[in-house]
Amino acid sequence: MARFLDVHPDNPQPRLLAQIVAALRDDALIAYPTDSGYALGSRIGNKEGRDRILRVRGLDERHHFTLLCRDFSQLGQLVHVDNAAFRAIRAVTPGPYTFILPGTPEVPRRLLHAKKRTVGVRIPDHAFVQALLAELGEPLLSSTLILPGETEPRTMGWEIKEDLDHELDIVVEAGEVTASPTTVVDFSEGAPEVLRVGAGDPGRFAD
C-alpha cells in the first residue's frame, strides 16, 4: 500500500521532504503534484522506476521521459542546448514547458528515445517540487500521471491513492493542482516544433 503524505504547498515540512527523498533513494515510485497536474517520479538511477512508470501509464518503449531539473545549470548537464534554444528556454523557465533535446552522456541510455537519443527536460514552477529537487540533489525521472483511457493529468491525491494504491510507494498531497499538462517543444532538429499545446503559451515558439 502507498503511503499518503500531506505536505504544505508553500513551505514543505523538512521532515516529510526527508522521508520522500529517503524513499526515492531506496528506489520508490511516487505520485506528486507539479505546476501541470500530478506526475509519477523516481530517481534516475532507479532501473526499475522507468519500467514501473511505463506499466502504470500503459505506455510502450517509445515514450519520451522527462527529467525534472531544479535550475538551468542542472538542465545543461543533461542535454545539448545551442545558443538559440538556450535563449528561448531560459525566457520561459521555470514554467509549464517540457523541452525535447539530445541527451548528454550523463543520461542513462534506457531513458533516451530509442532512435533519436533525445530526452525531455523541464524546470517546474512549483514550491513543493523545487523543495524536493533541492533535497534530492539531482534531477528526477518523471512522467505526467495520465492513466490509460484518460486524456488529462490526475489532480487529486486521494483519488490517486485509491486507484493506484498497490502500484505506488508514496502519494504526495500538496494543495490545489491544475489539470493542464505542459506544452511540449521539440528542439532536437534545431528549430522549435510544438508537439503538444498545454499550459505554457505555444506562441513563443511559433515560426
pLDDT tens-digit series, residues 1-27: 999 999 999 999 999 999 999 999 999
Domains with residue ranges and CATH for the chain: 3-205 (3.90.870.10)
Percentage of the chain exceeding pLDDT 70: 100
- Cβ contacts of residue 23 below 8 Å, gap of 6+? 3, 30, 169, 170
Instruction: Return the top range by mean pLDDT from 71-75, 150-154, 167-171, 178-182.
Output: 167-171
State the average pLDDT over residues 158-171.
96
Quote the pLDDT of residue 63: 81
pLDDT one-digit tens code per residue, 29-71:
999 999 989 999 999 999 899 999 999 999 887 788 899 999 9
CA angle (136, 130, 205) in 5-degree steps: 120
* Pairwise pLDDT comparison (173 vs 60), residue with the higher score: 173
Q: Is the peptide bond before 192 cis (omega within 30 degrees of 0)?
A: no
- How many alpha carbons fall within 13 Å on the CB side of residue 167? 18
pLDDT one-digit tens code per residue, 86-102:
999 999 999 999 999 99
Looking at the predicted structure, is the pLDDT value of residue 206 above 80? no
Cell 513543493 locates to 128
Pairing, β 140-144 against β 193-196: unpaired
Phi, psi dihedral angles at 100 (to 5 degrees): -95, 120
pLDDT one-digit tens code per residue, 132-146:
999 999 999 999 999
State the average pLDDT over residues 174-198.
90
Quote the pLDDT of residue 46: 94
